[in-house]
Structure formats: structure tokens, C-alpha cells
Amino acid sequence: MPRVIAKGPNQIECIVDLEPPHAVLLGRAPDLRSVPPTTGGSARSVNAVVMAAPSISANHALVWVDEDGVCVKDLGSKNGTWLRLPSERTVRVADTDVVLHLAQAVGDDAAASDEPSTSSWSGTGDFASAMADAIEAWLLQQGIEVQISVVARGQEGHDLPTRIPLSTGEGLDIAPLATAHGSWSRLLERAWRWVARQNSLFDAEEEARGEGLILASHAIRGAHREVIDAAQSGALTLLLTGPSGAGKEVLAEVFHRNSGRTGPFIAVNCSMFSKELLRAELFGASAGAYTDSKQRILGAVERAQGGTLFLDEVGEMALDVQPMLLRFLDHGREFQSLGQYGRTQRADVRVVAATNRDLREAVRCGEFRADLWYRMSVHVVDVPALRARWDDVLAYLESIKLEGAVRGTLREALSTEALALLRAHPWEGNFRELTNFAQRLSRGARPGSIDVETCRRALERGALRVTSAPPPAPSVGPTDWSGIASRAMQAFVEDRGEEPRTWDEQKEWNEKYFKPLLFVHMSGAVSPELPLDEGALSSLASQLAQRMHADRGTAAKQLARYFERFRGGR
């Protein structure tokens, strides 16, 4: 008695005896009413066999035996029915076992050549839904409509290939709403790998949050992901740039944790040592190698063996020491300790450097070696200033709980006007300034009780420049387009001697004369005579950007051009 051995994707297999006059209907959800009468009519009984794979059609193929042998009929399946021929046989199948491959021999590699787009989530609460939305949109682009359900921890079915586990303990159940094409199993595999990477990012973010790093804004989360990517890709050197207090050292520790290194994290501040002491601190020194050295110094590169060396304020490194660091990076981490000339050692370390200086400008000024810049700039991550991370400011204020009988957070204690003032503040000291500001506010405050003046005084106590409040915006009437254009043209003629005559001159008039006047009028910003110092101007630009639904850079540029040309009624 011949048998049919049906094989589907993901190791799905069934073996059925073919006993005349019986037939076998194979499919994901076989319906006996769909069997065509041409296979023997009502005299033939048909058994339904379920093969639960998304790329197998509901009614995929019919197999039966007659006087000529085994017969196979594909019932219009989407991905085909493929017959494995017995060795040394012709195409006609005789009374022998038949091996069928359902939806396995067809697949479009190009359809599985990409993966879901980078997903965006804020934390545990929306991680699962963000994953589900990204995968659903991606599969729809591949022509596969699915329904994705988020299942709670501990539900049955955790071992199913269509349930992808998440770091939150939840899972994603992926159910195609129709027959998927033949590359389904490869697409599902890609989804698994993509989610595994997102789980790794989620775990890294949660670990960083647990250690006090604020990761709320897209700007800092993007920098955080770049650091993790560099660490996991095996980068030997990473350069972190950004203002002091923005979180560069914390990100260096993130790099170390995600690099898979078992050695320690060793930090050296390059601005704290003279030339001789910095060389000894980095590469070590023998006793008596320099004046007043009475014992051997074990250098930071040796102490960081198997781990990560963090060079903070690398832009302040003495020019005489920079060639030694360059050679160390250029020659496979080889170095010589001070006083041990001719004896070369090697350290297995990764190097993370950080600076708040513009190293390109330092190179142009001769204060930093160009060849060292090129060596260190393989992987550069810009850490954004706090003024570009308003969500991080809010998250930090939210993390500080009020004391006493009234429950709430410091963020809730600030009035709407106070929050607007904080959003406009430049935060030149970054997180150091923010934490000190928060310590000046009362923990016994009630929700909404800290007004804008209290907030302003707390800011000014720690500001480098004490600034007065920007004036309230006047009411703005209808835009006088012709008057503004006329004034802009008059100013251009005063400066250039004639009206614009070329296209480039027209662009100059539009950008430097018309746009600044228009921005000031539409935003109700300032009067021409109003004097503003740099701090107040920066604060005003942030407020007007929010009011005009423009980015802060645009507001600052238009205000700067306005004050440059039109301040004082000029």
C-alpha cells in the first residue's frame, strides 16, 4: 500500500496510507466541500489532513490512488505542491511512496531581504505594542496581512514559532489572515532576529535607567543606541563629543557593559595631569623614572586589561603625550612604560574618549594632532545638550517625589508658566545645572504651587549670567505683508545702493531682510529698541519657536538677523 509523505515548512510532516478508493485532502484548514468531482465523484471517500503552516493554502492538494498509480492534484494553492521523484523513475508516479513538499520549494529571497523599521517606544508600557505595530506594517509591505496579539506572561503556546517572546515577559502571537507566500518561514525568522535585537536595546535602556541615566528624549536615546551598536559590533575606539554634564561618562560605561568585556572600566581625566604625570598615569612608570617618583606606577592601560579605558577630556591632553596615544592606537595597543625604553608591552583594551571641545577647531588651531583625530574618529557619537532634550528634563522632574502628606512629583508641583520658563532655559550646565536647580525647590510643595517667579529665582541662583525675564509678547494683529516687504526692500537698498537685480540678490533680500522682519511681526517678539543680552535672547528664541511651531534653530537665526540689521530702528 503506497503512502503519501507530506512535508511543509518548519519541519511540519504527516504520513498517510493511500488505500483505494480513499483520497486525502491536505491543507491548512481543509474543507471537504471543496473537493472537485473529477477525482472519482461520490464513490470516493476523502479524508482531511490538517497541516498548520501559514504558507500552506487552506485546501492545498488532493492525493489518491487509481489503476494507474498515485495521483496528485494541486487545488490552486498559492505556493505550489512539489513532488520528490523516486530515484531512477520517470515523471509518472507508480504505486510507491510519494513525498510531497507543500509551499517549500517556492520563495522570493528579495521579499525577505529587509526587516521592520526601527521602532519607537518610551518604556515597559508601550514596548509590546510598538513591536507589534512595526512587524505588522513590515509584513503588510511584503503582501502578508496578519493579526498580531500581545499575550501576557505564562500563557500556553510559548513554544510556538509564531509567538515571539519579549523582554517584558509578554509575547507576540502572529497569525496570517490568509495564505502567506512561500518565504513566510524566512520572514518569520527575520522577525525573530529583529525582535531579539530590540529586546537587547530594551534591556540596555532599562539597565541604564536603573543606574540613573535619563532616557526619555529621542535625541539621547538615539545616542544611546549608537553607543550600543558600536560596542556590540566590536568597535575598538569610540569618541563621545558634547557639552560638559550631558552624560558622556555614563554612556562610556554603557559601551563597556555592552561590549562583552570581562575586564574593568578604568577612567582617566586627561586635564588633571601634567605631561610627565599623564604619561605615567596612562602607560605606567618605573621607580625613579622621573623626578620624585619613588615607586612603580601601574598605568591605566594595564589596569584596564580585558576591559575599557575611558579618556575623559581628551581634548585637553598635552601635545607631547598625543603621539604616544596615537602610537598606542595605531600599533595594536602596544606601549612602553616610562623608564622601560625598548621593552614593548601590549594591552587588550577598548578605548572610549570624550571631549567637550570642537576637536576639528582644535586641530586647525594646532592644539590637537590631525593624525590622532583621524585615528579616533572612526566611531563618533554626538551627545546632545540638555536644551535639546526637553523630555529628559520632564522625566527627571517626574522622578523626584514630593514629601509630606501631599503625594506627587516635582514636575506636578510646577505651574504651567514655570514649566514654560524651564523649556525656554538654555541649560548651559546641562544635568549638573538641572540637578542643582531641583535641589533649590521645596519638596514639601503642593501640585501647581511653584510659580514662575519662584522658578526664575531658583534658576538665577545657579546661572552664569543673571538674566531678566523676556517681555510678554504683544498682541499680534493682521500681518502687514506689503509694509513688511517695503521695509525690507528699503533696508536692502540702504545697504546695497539699489534693488535686487539678480536671483541671488533676491534670495539675499528674502533671507536676510524680509524673513527676519516677518518672523518678528508674526511672533509678536520684540520692539526694535529692546536691548537683550545673550542669555535672554536664547531664552526668547526657545519661547518663540514653541509659539510659532518652528524649530529653535530657525527662531534663533531669524532673531539674530533681526537684531543684526534692524535693532535700534536702523
Q: If you average pLDDT over residues 311-331, what whole number do you get?
A: 94
- Show the domain range for 555: 481-569
Q: How far apart are CA 359 and CA 355, in angstroms?
A: 8
What pLDDT does 474 receive? 45
Q: If you average pLDDT over residues 269-297, what whole number do you get?
A: 79
Bridge partners of residue 69, in order along the sequence: 66
Is there a cis peptide before residue 2, judged by omega within 30 degrees of 0? no
Best mean pLDDT range from 182-186, 268-272, 441-445: 268-272
**Domain stop point among 83, 102, 121:** 102
What pLDDT does 470 receive? 47
Best mean pLDDT range from 97-101, 152-156, 288-292: 97-101
Considering the domain architecture, whether residues 51 and 115 belong to the same structural domain is answered as no
Considering the domain architecture, whether residues 239 and 361 belong to the same structural domain is answered as yes
pLDDT level of residue 6 (50, 70, 90 thresholds): confident
To the nearest 10°, report the CA torsion of 357, 358, 362, 368: 70
Which residue, 205, 209, 176, is CA-closest to 54? 176
Q: What is the CATH number of the domain that holds 312?
A: 3.40.50.300
Task: Using a pLDDT cut of 90, give the percent of the chain over it.
Answer: 43
SS3 of 564, please? helix
Number of compact structural domains in the chain: 5
The residues, any chain, with a CB within 8 Å of residue 218's CB and separated by 6 or more, are 120, 391
What pLDDT does 137 receive? 92
Which residue, 298, 317, 410, 411, is CA-closest to 355? 317
Considering the domain architecture, whether residues 373 and 282 belong to the same structural domain is answered as yes
Grid cell at residue 241: 563629543
Q: Is 248 within a domain?
A: yes
Q: Is 476 within a domain?
A: no
What are φ and ψ of residue 424, in 5° steps? -80, -15
Element (H, E) at 27: strand 23-27
Q: Is 62 within a domain?
A: yes
What pLDDT does 280 receive? 87
Q: How confident is the model over 408-439, as pLDDT tens digits? A: 899 999 999 999 999 989 999 999 999 999 99
What pLDDT does 535 receive? 52
For 132, 321, 329, 371, the CA distances from 366, given in Å and listed in that order, are 52, 14, 21, 12
Considering the domain architecture, whether residues 59 and 189 belong to the same structural domain is answered as no
Considering the domain architecture, whether residues 406 and 307 belong to the same structural domain is answered as no
Considering the domain architecture, whether residues 242 and 375 belong to the same structural domain is answered as yes
Q: Is 73 within a domain?
A: yes
Best mean pLDDT range from 134-143, 231-240, 461-470, 548-557: 231-240
Considering the domain architecture, whether residues 424 and 528 belong to the same structural domain is answered as no
| More reliable by pLDDT, 570 or 138 | 138
What pLDDT does 529 receive? 42
Considering the domain architecture, whether residues 133 and 199 belong to the same structural domain is answered as yes
Per the document, the length of the chain is 570
**pLDDT exceeds cutoff 90 at 244:** yes
**pLDDT exceeds cutoff 60 at 374:** yes
Q: How confident is the model over 9-65, as pLDDT tens digits? A: 777 888 888 887 788 899 999 998 888 876 544 457 888 999 888 889 999 999 888
For 15, 42, 265, 283, 352, the CA distances from 238, given in Å and listed in that order, are 57, 74, 14, 19, 5
Considering the domain architecture, whether residues 202 and 223 belong to the same structural domain is answered as no
What pLDDT does 528 receive? 42
**pLDDT exceeds cutoff 50 at 514:** yes
SS3 of 69, please? strand
**pLDDT exceeds cutoff 80 at 443:** yes
**Domain stop point among 186, 210, 234:** 210
Q: How confident is the model over 85-134, as pLDDT tens digits? A: 766 655 556 556 788 888 865 444 444 458 888 777 888 888 999 999 99
Q: Is 471 within a domain?
A: no
Classify residue 514 by its DSSP letter.
I
Q: Say which residue the cell 503588510 belongs to.
A: 140
With vertex at residue 568, the alpha carbon angle to CA 567 and CA 570, rounded to the nearest 5 degrees, is 80
Q: How confident is the model over 193-232, as pLDDT tens digits? A: 999 999 999 999 988 888 778 898 989 999 999 999 999 9
Q: Is 197 within a domain?
A: yes
Considering the domain architecture, whether residues 259 and 305 belong to the same structural domain is answered as yes
Q: What is the CATH number of the domain that holds 441?
A: 1.10.8
Considering the domain architecture, whether residues 232 and 357 belong to the same structural domain is answered as yes
Q: Is 236 within a domain?
A: yes
Q: Is 308 within a domain?
A: yes
What pLDDT does 398 receive? 92
Considering the domain architecture, whether residues 223 and 197 belong to the same structural domain is answered as no
**Domain stop point among 161, 182, 210:** 210
What pLDDT does 307 receive? 96
What pLDDT does 209 receive? 85
